Amino acid sequence: MLRPTQKKWRLFRTWAAGHPIWCGWQVTYRCNYRCRFCHYWHDPLGRADEPTVEQYASGAAKLAQLGTLLVSLAGGEPMLRTDLSDIVRAIGKYHFPLVTTNGWFVTPRTADDLMSAGVWGVSVSIDYARGATHDKRRGMDGAWKQAWRAVEMLVRARKHAFQRVNVMSVLLDDNIDDLDTIVEMAADRGAHFMVQPYGFRKTGSHAYAHNNGAVAPRLLELHKRWPNFLSNPNYLAKFDEFLAGGIPRCRAGRAFFNIDSTGDIAICVEHKSAPVANLYRHNPQTIVSKLSEASAGNRCTDCWYNCRGEVENLYDPKGLIKSLPTLFATGASVKGD
């Protein structure tokens, strides 16, 4: 297994070579929640066969020929894979494995397994400061309480200073006033906080998008007050531009890409229905070439997810400097004033 310093150097070389540095790898589209603002839980891929741990290991080795990547293991709910810690260990041999979860299946044992496997960071989705509202939007009674328990268990289970626990919120139509409280609750538990705006492609509906005034100034003010608010300020400053019509010049396929639960590769998760290659059937050079070809015609402005905005900041000198804490912050959190 490569040492953290080796991975960081290889990640820099990947970036300098112009290869994608971020990969969203959807380990399953199955989900135990029924979130109103996400329809992945009834995606037909949720019934498809999923790769074995051995396939993840061979896929990770193939991707390593391009360099080291930030690999976000998500879904669906990735912890429905009972072998997730083995997948993390396989990915972590060459790359930086990250996990996004709703927190429902986190126990002291599963938290310890993930951290022992070498996960670089775990993000737990929490969108509201009020349990009843969160549970209603997530379609699961008790989701809010369990999510905060998951944060606490994951923080306690950390084995290394580089392992980070995040609370991840989606900015929706009705939760901007909740974010200050969520940031504080995360800080009190030793966790970081990040936010991204709702993307309508997950449901086809704009009903859940924030449309009640500017949000960037409020987010930037929170960022100044709370040291555990980890989102890049350059990224936050563009929220209103996205909400007003979208941000052009998306680098999907050039800076980041998606692998679905069958190994199909697309320029991003929202283009998963139009794969350009397959991890298990194509060599790395073909994958990069196909992604580059597909990205050339991309005019999409439909999202401003972390996997886009945070990564695209790395290609701007000012954004790159401000992104370093996001990429490599330690698990320690500092409470704000």
The CATH number linked to 190 is: 3.20.20.70
pLDDT at residue 130 is higher than 50: yes
- Compute the average pLDDT of residues 305-315: 91
pLDDT at position 206: 86
Query: What is the tens place of the pLDDT at every residue in 153-173?
Result: 999 999 999 999 999 999 999
pLDDT number for residue 336: 44
> Rounded CA gap, 114 and 88, in Å?
7
Reported as a pLDDT band with limits 50, 70 and 90, residue 208 is: confident
Q: Read off the tokens for 199.
A: 């993307």
What pLDDT is stored for residue 49 in this prediction? 80
More confident residue, 18 or 45: 18
Q: Tell me the average pLDDT of the chain.
A: 90
Residue 228 in domain: yes
Contact call for residues 257 and 266 (beta carbons, < 8 A)? yes
pLDDT band at 35 (very low <50, low <70, confident <90, very high): confident
With respect to residue 49, please indicate whether it lies within any of the assigned structural domains: yes
| Residue predicted with more confidence, 138 or 112 | 112
Number of domains into which the chain is organized: 1
336 lies in some domain: no
Residue 335 lies in a domain: no
pLDDT higher for 48 or 262?
A: 262
- Tally of helices (H runs) and strands (E runs) in the chain: 13, 9
Confidence check: pLDDT of 47 > 60: no
Q: Cβ distance 222 to 179 under 8 Å?
A: yes
Whether residue 157 is contained in a domain is answered as yes
Judge contact between 103 and 124, C-beta under 8 A: yes
Q: 334 lies in a domain? A: no
Q: For residue 303, is pLDDT > 80?
A: yes
175-206 pLDDT per residue, tens: 999 999 999 999 999 999 999 999 888 777 88
Q: Is-contact 107 153, C-beta < 8 A? A: yes
Specify if 276 maps to a domain: yes
Structural domain span for residue 307: 4-328
Q: Quote the pLDDT of residue 337.
A: 41
Residue 320: the pLDDT is 67
- Provide the pLDDT for residue 176: 97
Identity of the amino acid at 1: M
* Mean per-residue pLDDT, 67-75: 94
pLDDT score at 234: 93
pLDDT for the residue numbered 254:
94
pLDDT attached to residue 115 = 98
Is 246 a residue whose pLDDT tops 80? yes
Query: Residue 333 domain-assigned?
Result: no
Q: What are phi and psi of 204, to 5 degrees?
A: 85, 5
